[in-house]
Amino acid sequence: MTIGLKNQSNKMPKISSIFGLAAIVVALTYLSINRNSIWNEEITLWEDTIKKSPAKIRIYNNLGFAYGKKGDFRKSLDIYNKALSINPELNNTSLTDMAIFYTNRGTAYGAVGQTDIAIQNYKMAIQIKPEHSDAWFNLGVIYEKMGDFENAIYYYKKTTSIAKNYTNAYKNLGVLYNKLRMFDMALQQLNLAISLNIEDAEIYSNRGLILFEKGLYVEAINDFNNALKIDKDLSPVYINRGIAHAALGNFEMAYLDFKKACDMGVENGCIALKRISE
Protein backbone atom coordinates (compact mmCIF):
# COMPACT_ATOMS: atom_id res chain seq x y z
CA MET A 1 0.00 0.00 0.00
CA THR A 2 1.34 3.43 -0.90
CA ILE A 3 0.17 6.63 0.73
CA GLY A 4 0.64 9.72 -1.41
CA LEU A 5 1.68 12.32 1.16
CA LYS A 6 4.01 15.27 1.33
CA ASN A 7 5.41 16.73 4.54
CA GLN A 8 2.96 14.74 6.61
CA SER A 9 4.86 15.17 9.86
CA ASN A 10 3.38 18.63 10.43
CA LYS A 11 -0.09 17.11 10.36
CA MET A 12 0.52 14.62 13.13
CA PRO A 13 -1.08 15.15 16.53
CA LYS A 14 1.43 15.85 19.26
CA ILE A 15 2.61 12.78 21.10
CA SER A 16 1.35 12.74 24.65
CA SER A 17 1.69 10.70 27.80
CA ILE A 18 -0.98 8.03 27.97
CA PHE A 19 -0.07 6.90 31.45
CA GLY A 20 0.06 9.38 34.27
CA LEU A 21 0.54 8.53 37.87
CA ALA A 22 0.69 5.02 39.06
CA ALA A 23 -2.36 4.26 41.14
CA ILE A 24 -2.18 5.10 44.82
CA VAL A 25 -1.10 1.96 46.60
CA VAL A 26 -3.46 0.60 49.21
CA ALA A 27 -1.47 -1.61 51.55
CA LEU A 28 -3.30 -4.39 53.30
CA THR A 29 -2.35 -7.39 55.36
CA TYR A 30 -5.09 -9.97 55.02
CA LEU A 31 -5.77 -12.67 57.55
CA SER A 32 -4.77 -16.15 56.52
CA ILE A 33 -8.13 -17.15 55.12
CA ASN A 34 -8.36 -19.18 51.95
CA ARG A 35 -11.07 -17.70 49.79
CA ASN A 36 -11.95 -16.69 46.25
CA SER A 37 -14.71 -14.14 46.67
CA ILE A 38 -16.25 -11.24 44.87
CA TRP A 39 -16.60 -7.92 46.66
CA ASN A 40 -19.94 -8.56 48.32
CA GLU A 41 -18.84 -11.95 49.61
CA GLU A 42 -15.67 -10.40 50.98
CA ILE A 43 -17.64 -7.66 52.70
CA THR A 44 -19.97 -10.22 54.21
CA LEU A 45 -17.00 -12.21 55.43
CA TRP A 46 -15.40 -9.28 57.26
CA GLU A 47 -18.71 -8.04 58.65
CA ASP A 48 -19.29 -11.48 60.11
CA THR A 49 -15.74 -11.56 61.49
CA ILE A 50 -16.21 -8.18 63.19
CA LYS A 51 -19.19 -9.58 65.09
CA LYS A 52 -16.90 -12.26 66.50
CA SER A 53 -13.92 -9.95 67.18
CA PRO A 54 -15.33 -6.42 67.48
CA ALA A 55 -12.16 -4.84 68.88
CA LYS A 56 -9.62 -6.00 66.29
CA ILE A 57 -8.43 -3.09 64.13
CA ARG A 58 -7.11 -5.35 61.39
CA ILE A 59 -10.62 -6.63 60.69
CA TYR A 60 -12.04 -3.10 60.39
CA ASN A 61 -9.14 -2.31 58.11
CA ASN A 62 -9.91 -5.29 55.90
CA LEU A 63 -13.61 -4.43 55.77
CA GLY A 64 -12.87 -0.81 54.88
CA PHE A 65 -10.45 -1.99 52.23
CA ALA A 66 -13.10 -4.31 50.77
CA TYR A 67 -15.52 -1.39 50.42
CA GLY A 68 -12.73 0.63 48.83
CA LYS A 69 -12.17 -2.06 46.21
CA LYS A 70 -15.86 -1.78 45.46
CA GLY A 71 -15.43 1.96 44.99
CA ASP A 72 -17.48 2.89 48.06
CA PHE A 73 -14.88 5.02 49.83
CA ARG A 74 -17.39 6.85 51.98
CA LYS A 75 -18.45 3.53 53.44
CA SER A 76 -14.77 2.73 53.91
CA LEU A 77 -14.41 5.90 55.95
CA ASP A 78 -17.43 4.97 58.04
CA ILE A 79 -15.72 1.69 58.88
CA TYR A 80 -12.32 3.24 59.65
CA ASN A 81 -13.86 5.97 61.79
CA LYS A 82 -16.01 3.46 63.65
CA ALA A 83 -12.84 1.55 64.49
CA LEU A 84 -11.32 4.72 65.96
CA SER A 85 -14.46 5.44 67.97
CA ILE A 86 -14.22 1.97 69.50
CA ASN A 87 -10.46 1.97 69.97
CA PRO A 88 -9.11 5.55 69.62
CA GLU A 89 -5.55 4.63 70.54
CA LEU A 90 -5.56 1.44 68.44
CA ASN A 91 -4.59 -0.51 71.52
CA ASN A 92 -3.38 -4.10 71.11
CA THR A 93 -2.55 -3.37 67.47
CA SER A 94 0.88 -3.92 65.93
CA LEU A 95 2.78 -0.94 64.54
CA THR A 96 2.53 -2.46 61.07
CA ASP A 97 -1.25 -2.80 61.27
CA MET A 98 -1.56 0.72 62.67
CA ALA A 99 0.50 2.13 59.78
CA ILE A 100 -1.56 0.17 57.25
CA PHE A 101 -4.78 1.38 58.88
CA TYR A 102 -3.84 5.06 58.59
CA THR A 103 -2.48 4.58 55.07
CA ASN A 104 -5.75 3.00 53.92
CA ARG A 105 -7.77 5.66 55.73
CA GLY A 106 -5.70 8.33 53.99
CA THR A 107 -6.37 6.72 50.63
CA ALA A 108 -10.11 6.74 51.33
CA TYR A 109 -10.00 10.42 52.25
CA GLY A 110 -8.01 11.18 49.13
CA ALA A 111 -10.57 9.32 47.01
CA VAL A 112 -13.40 11.54 48.29
CA GLY A 113 -11.40 14.72 47.69
CA GLN A 114 -10.34 15.49 51.27
CA THR A 115 -6.67 15.87 50.45
CA ASP A 116 -5.56 17.61 53.64
CA ILE A 117 -6.97 14.85 55.83
CA ALA A 118 -5.43 12.23 53.53
CA ILE A 119 -2.02 13.84 54.03
CA GLN A 120 -2.54 13.89 57.81
CA ASN A 121 -3.29 10.17 57.79
CA TYR A 122 -0.28 9.29 55.67
CA LYS A 123 1.97 11.32 57.96
CA MET A 124 0.41 9.60 60.96
CA ALA A 125 1.30 6.24 59.39
CA ILE A 126 4.88 7.42 58.91
CA GLN A 127 5.07 8.72 62.47
CA ILE A 128 3.97 5.30 63.73
CA LYS A 129 6.25 3.34 61.43
CA PRO A 130 8.82 5.45 59.51
CA GLU A 131 9.78 2.56 57.21
CA HIS A 132 6.21 2.12 55.94
CA SER A 133 7.00 2.84 52.29
CA ASP A 134 3.42 2.90 50.98
CA ALA A 135 2.63 5.99 53.04
CA TRP A 136 5.68 7.81 51.68
CA PHE A 137 4.73 6.82 48.15
CA ASN A 138 1.12 7.92 48.52
CA LEU A 139 2.27 11.31 49.78
CA GLY A 140 4.30 11.63 46.59
CA VAL A 141 1.21 10.86 44.52
CA ILE A 142 -0.91 13.35 46.48
CA TYR A 143 1.63 16.16 46.15
CA GLU A 144 2.14 15.49 42.45
CA LYS A 145 -1.59 15.73 41.88
CA MET A 146 -1.53 19.04 43.76
CA GLY A 147 1.21 20.31 41.45
CA ASP A 148 3.74 20.44 44.27
CA PHE A 149 6.47 18.68 42.33
CA GLU A 150 9.25 19.49 44.79
CA ASN A 151 7.49 17.63 47.59
CA ALA A 152 6.42 14.86 45.23
CA ILE A 153 10.03 14.21 44.22
CA TYR A 154 11.09 14.26 47.87
CA TYR A 155 8.51 11.64 48.88
CA TYR A 156 9.15 9.40 45.87
CA LYS A 157 12.88 9.46 46.58
CA LYS A 158 12.22 8.76 50.24
CA THR A 159 10.16 5.75 49.15
CA THR A 160 13.00 4.30 47.11
CA SER A 161 15.50 4.94 49.91
CA ILE A 162 13.33 2.80 52.20
CA ALA A 163 12.25 0.19 49.64
CA LYS A 164 14.87 -0.22 46.92
CA ASN A 165 12.54 -2.36 44.79
CA TYR A 166 9.52 -0.01 44.84
CA THR A 167 8.92 0.00 41.08
CA ASN A 168 6.01 2.45 41.07
CA ALA A 169 8.09 5.12 42.82
CA TYR A 170 10.77 4.93 40.09
CA LYS A 171 8.01 4.94 37.48
CA ASN A 172 6.34 8.02 38.94
CA LEU A 173 9.67 9.82 39.25
CA GLY A 174 10.28 9.11 35.58
CA VAL A 175 6.87 10.48 34.60
CA LEU A 176 7.36 13.54 36.80
CA TYR A 177 10.84 14.32 35.50
CA ASN A 178 9.40 14.02 32.00
CA LYS A 179 6.76 16.62 32.90
CA LEU A 180 9.59 18.88 34.02
CA ARG A 181 11.40 18.13 30.75
CA MET A 182 14.33 16.68 32.66
CA PHE A 183 14.63 13.87 30.16
CA ASP A 184 17.92 12.31 31.22
CA MET A 185 16.79 12.02 34.83
CA ALA A 186 13.45 10.64 33.65
CA LEU A 187 15.21 7.96 31.61
CA GLN A 188 17.40 7.04 34.57
CA GLN A 189 14.36 6.41 36.76
CA LEU A 190 12.45 4.46 34.11
CA ASN A 191 15.51 2.35 33.37
CA LEU A 192 15.59 1.44 37.06
CA ALA A 193 11.88 0.64 36.96
CA ILE A 194 12.37 -1.66 33.97
CA SER A 195 15.27 -3.40 35.69
CA LEU A 196 12.82 -4.26 38.49
CA ASN A 197 9.87 -5.22 36.31
CA ILE A 198 10.47 -6.03 32.66
CA GLU A 199 6.82 -7.01 32.20
CA ASP A 200 5.30 -3.57 32.88
CA ALA A 201 3.98 -2.16 29.60
CA GLU A 202 3.41 1.28 31.10
CA ILE A 203 7.11 1.74 31.84
CA TYR A 204 8.12 0.94 28.26
CA SER A 205 5.42 3.25 26.95
CA ASN A 206 6.53 6.13 29.17
CA ARG A 207 10.18 5.60 28.30
CA GLY A 208 9.20 5.60 24.64
CA LEU A 209 7.59 9.01 25.09
CA ILE A 210 10.79 10.41 26.55
CA LEU A 211 12.95 8.90 23.81
CA PHE A 212 10.59 10.52 21.30
CA GLU A 213 11.03 13.90 23.01
CA LYS A 214 14.80 13.46 22.68
CA GLY A 215 14.43 12.80 18.96
CA LEU A 216 15.35 9.12 19.32
CA TYR A 217 12.47 7.88 17.20
CA VAL A 218 13.81 4.40 16.41
CA GLU A 219 14.48 3.74 20.10
CA ALA A 220 11.03 5.10 20.96
CA ILE A 221 9.41 2.71 18.50
CA ASN A 222 11.31 -0.18 20.05
CA ASP A 223 9.87 0.70 23.45
CA PHE A 224 6.36 1.05 22.04
CA ASN A 225 6.84 -2.37 20.43
CA ASN A 226 7.84 -3.83 23.79
CA ALA A 227 4.80 -2.26 25.47
CA LEU A 228 2.47 -3.78 22.89
CA LYS A 229 4.12 -7.19 23.17
CA ILE A 230 3.17 -7.15 26.83
CA ASP A 231 -0.29 -5.67 26.33
CA LYS A 232 -1.60 -5.50 22.76
CA ASP A 233 -4.77 -3.72 23.93
CA LEU A 234 -3.01 -0.47 24.89
CA SER A 235 -4.66 1.47 22.09
CA PRO A 236 -2.97 4.86 22.75
CA VAL A 237 0.43 3.24 22.24
CA TYR A 238 -0.51 2.57 18.63
CA ILE A 239 -1.09 6.30 18.20
CA ASN A 240 2.24 7.19 19.77
CA ARG A 241 4.06 4.60 17.69
CA GLY A 242 2.33 5.91 14.60
CA ILE A 243 3.51 9.44 15.37
CA ALA A 244 7.06 8.16 15.79
CA HIS A 245 6.83 6.34 12.45
CA ALA A 246 5.56 9.54 10.85
CA ALA A 247 8.47 11.49 12.32
CA LEU A 248 10.78 9.07 10.48
CA GLY A 249 8.80 9.44 7.27
CA ASN A 250 7.37 5.91 7.55
CA PHE A 251 3.85 7.00 6.68
CA GLU A 252 2.60 3.57 5.69
CA MET A 253 3.51 2.22 9.12
CA ALA A 254 1.98 5.30 10.74
CA TYR A 255 -1.22 4.73 8.76
CA LEU A 256 -1.47 1.15 10.00
CA ASP A 257 -0.98 2.19 13.62
CA PHE A 258 -3.54 4.99 13.40
CA LYS A 259 -6.02 2.66 11.71
CA LYS A 260 -5.51 0.08 14.45
CA ALA A 261 -6.19 2.69 17.13
CA CYS A 262 -9.23 3.98 15.25
CA ASP A 263 -10.58 0.44 14.84
CA MET A 264 -10.21 0.07 18.61
CA GLY A 265 -12.48 3.07 19.11
CA VAL A 266 -9.88 5.72 19.98
CA GLU A 267 -11.01 9.11 18.67
CA ASN A 268 -7.49 10.51 18.36
CA GLY A 269 -6.56 7.49 16.27
CA CYS A 270 -9.37 8.29 13.86
CA ILE A 271 -8.33 11.94 13.75
CA ALA A 272 -4.74 10.99 12.98
CA LEU A 273 -5.89 8.49 10.36
CA LYS A 274 -7.93 11.19 8.65
CA ARG A 275 -5.04 13.62 8.65
CA ILE A 276 -2.52 11.18 7.26
CA SER A 277 -4.98 10.12 4.55
CA GLU A 278 -5.70 13.66 3.31
Per the document, the length of the chain is 278
Pairwise CA distance, residues 35 & 23, whole Å: 25
DSSP 9: G
Instruction: Give the tens place of pLDDT for each residue, 232-249.
Output: 999 989 999 999 999 999
Instruction: Give the tens place of pLDDT for each residue, 199-235.
Output: 999 999 999 999 999 999 999 999 999 999 999 999 9
Q: How many CA atoms lie within 13 A of 177 on its CB side?
A: 22
- Confidence band of 192 (pLDDT split at 50, 70, 90): very high
Pairwise CA distance, residues 140 & 154, whole Å: 7
pLDDT at 164: 96
Q: Which of 77, 128, 66 is nearest to 106 (CA)?
A: 77
Q: Cite the DSSP H helix spans in 112-266.
A: 115-128, 133-145, 149-162, 167-179, 183-196, 201-213, 217-230, 235-247, 251-263
pLDDT at 37 over 80: no
CATH class name, domain 1-15+217-278:
mainly alpha
pLDDT at 12: 52
User: Which sequence spans correspond to the domains of the chain?
Assistant: 1-15+217-278, 28-131
Q: What contacts 145, CB < 8 A, 6 or more positions away?
A: 21, 115
CA separation, residue 151 to residues 115, 136, 154, 157 (Å) = 15, 11, 5, 10
pLDDT at 8 over 60: no
Domain 28-131 has CATH 3.50.50.60: no
